[in-house]
Each structure stands twice: as C-alpha cells, then as structure tokens.
C-alpha cells in the first residue's frame, strides 16, 4: 500500500499508561498517531497490551493517564465526547457479539435507527447495501445462531459499518474462527482497506498484515518495540526481539 493515500492524523494518543488491578502493565508510555485512510496492524505476543490499546480507543477500557484524541475529539470524562467517539469508531470483536434476539437485518439496523435516528426504511436500505457488500444479504432474515462463525463475523462488520464510522477497530476478528472461514472475513477486511477505511487491526494474520497494512506495530509489555511499513517489517526488522517473534510465528 502506498503511503500517499494517507491523510492527517485521525487518532492521536500520547503517553498512555494503564495498569490492571492485578499489577500487569498493559500500556506503558504508549504514544503514536494513526492517519486518515491508514491501515495499521498491531502484532505481538499475548499479554502485550494490543487488545487493551484498541479497547482504550473507544473507551471500553479506561486509561490511567495520557490523552486520546480521535478526529479532534478528546476522549475525556465528558459523556458527550465519549458518545461522539463511540459513534465515529466502529469495532469488531473476536467473539462477534451479535445480538442473538434480533435478525441479521435488525442487528445492522439497530444503531442506525436508535443512534442515527434514521427511519426504518432508510436504515434497511443502508443495511441491505452493507450486507450485500459483505456477501450475506441472503441471510438478512436469519438469526445469528443460524449462521456460521464466518458469516456472523461478516454481519458484525456490516453492523459496525452501518454507523458510517471514520475509524474501524478489529480486535482479533479472525481468532475465534474455524480455519476455513478466516479467508472470507479477511477478504471483507481487505476490501475495506482498499476502499480507504482507516483501520486499526490486532491480528495474528501475517499475510493480511503484509498485503494491506500501511504500517505494522510490534508491541510487547505495553510498549512499541518496533514500527514500520509492512515491507520493512517483514523483510528487514531492526530489533532482535521482532526477529525472534517473527521467526516463531512465520
């Protein structure tokens, strides 16, 4: 991916610290930017703080100190700001977390109707377009437990996109899937990346990182060990620790 499609910083985080009650340091002096249209992939061993970082970006986890600014809105105590950020930041979870009591269509409609105050007709139109895009429109009337894991995750992506977010966060979106279903979800994510969506992905899919990411961040013990373009990262990592990690997973 060429870096020239990348715009101004949309996510700015500065000196984030977070320690869990059990004493584990999840984030230690973590700073960085994500630019508009950029696809950032965060990799690292488990317990490195990757998911915690992602979850801090929309306020699912609280930081102990530091600042997070998303599209000019500071993520602070103000409920209004937090709500605004949650509207603009879409998130896809490892466990899909679809609403089991609603059809696929209603899952995608819900936030459009309740948060964006669209009419049901308008919302349904958008939802069907998105479900088409993730290639699952034929299951619009089905309930989540009638779908395979891969299908559920694609619905979850459509649901997050329905809010027309400026940023999409993917928290190990393929880790809970059977191997034969990983491809269909990654394809959706790749298409999204090509369309210029700003994405921050925590993943173990190195192929995906190599193919679509503008930048790869290697994290360990709550801090950035190494950061660079996919090419630099996979061909010529500078840090010994990065090389060791890559040799273990590739």
Partner 1 sequence: MNRKLKITTLDVVILTLLLALAAYVVYRLTMQLNYKWNWGILPQYFFYIDEETGRWVANILVKGLWTTIRLSFWATLLAIVFGVVTGLMRISKRLFWRLIGASYVELIRNMPPLVLVFIFYFFVSDQIMPLLGVEDFVRSRPDNVKNLLTFLFASPQQFTAFTSGAITVAVFQGAYITEIVRAGIQSIEKGQWEASYALGLTWGQQMRWVILPQAVKRVLPPLTNEFINTIKYSAIVSVISIQELTFQGMQIMASTYVTIEVWITITAIYLLICFSLSMGVRKLEVHLARSEA
Neighbouring-strand partners of residue 70: 11, 73
Interface contacts to partner 1, rule CB under 8 A: 58-60, 83, 86-87, 89-91, 93, 95, 97-101, 110-111, 114-115, 143, 145-146, 156, 159-160, 163
Least distance from partner 1 to the Cβ atom of residue 192, Å: 16
Between 160 and 193, whose beta carbon lies closer to partner 1?
A: 160
Shorter beta-carbon distance to partner 1: residue 185 or 225 = 185
Q: Looking at beta carbons only, is 4 or 80 nearer to partner 1?
A: 80
Which one, of 177, 115, 164, 107, lies nearest residue 136 by Cα? 107
> DSSP labels for 20-66?
-TTS-EEEEEEEEEEETT-EEEEE-STTSSHHHHHHHHTTSS--SEE
Which structure tokens are listed for 233?
């990262």
Our CB check for partner 1 shows the closer of 6 and 163 to be: 163
Q: At what angle do helices 104-114 and 120-133 cross, to 10 degrees?
A: 130
Minimal distance in Å, beta carbon 125 to partner 1? Answer: 18
- The distance of closest approach from Cβ of residue 129 to partner 1 in the complex, given in angstroms and rounded to an integer, is 18
Nearest approach, Cβ of 196 to partner 1 (angstroms)? 21
β-strands 73-74, 65-70 pairing = antiparallel
């Amino acid at each position: 991916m060429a870096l020239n499609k990348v715009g101004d910083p949309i996510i700015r985080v500065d000196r984030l610290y977070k320690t869990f009650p059990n004493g584990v340091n999840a984030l230690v002096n973590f700073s960085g930017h994500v630019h508009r249209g950029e696809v950032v992939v965060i990799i690292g061993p488990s317990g490195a703080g990757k998911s915690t970082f992602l979850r801090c970006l929309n306020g699912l986890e609280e930081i102990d100190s530091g600042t997070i600014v998303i599209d000019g809105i500071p993520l602070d105590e103000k409920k209004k700001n937090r709500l605004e950020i949650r509207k603009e930041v879409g998130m896809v979870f490892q466990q899909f977390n679809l609403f089991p009591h609603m059809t696929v269509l209603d899952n995608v409609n819900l936030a459009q109707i309740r948060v964006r105050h669209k009419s049901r007709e308008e919302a349904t139109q958008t939802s069907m377009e998105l479900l088409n895009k993730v290639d699952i429109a034929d299951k619009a009337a089905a309930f989540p437990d009638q779908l395979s894991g891969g299908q559920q995750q694609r619905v979850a992506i459509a649901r997050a996109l329905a809010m027309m977010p400026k940023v999409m966060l993917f928290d190990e979106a393929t880790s809970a899937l059977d191997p034969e279903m990983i491809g269909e979800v990654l394809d959706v994510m790749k298409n999204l990346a090509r369309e210029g969506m700003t994405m921050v992905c925590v993943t173990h899919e190195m192929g995906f990182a190599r193919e679509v990411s503008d930048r790869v961040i290697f994290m360990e013990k709550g801090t950035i060990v190494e950061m660079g373009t996919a090419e630099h990262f996979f061909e010529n990592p500078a840090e010994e620790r990065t090389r060791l990690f890559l040799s273990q997973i590739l």
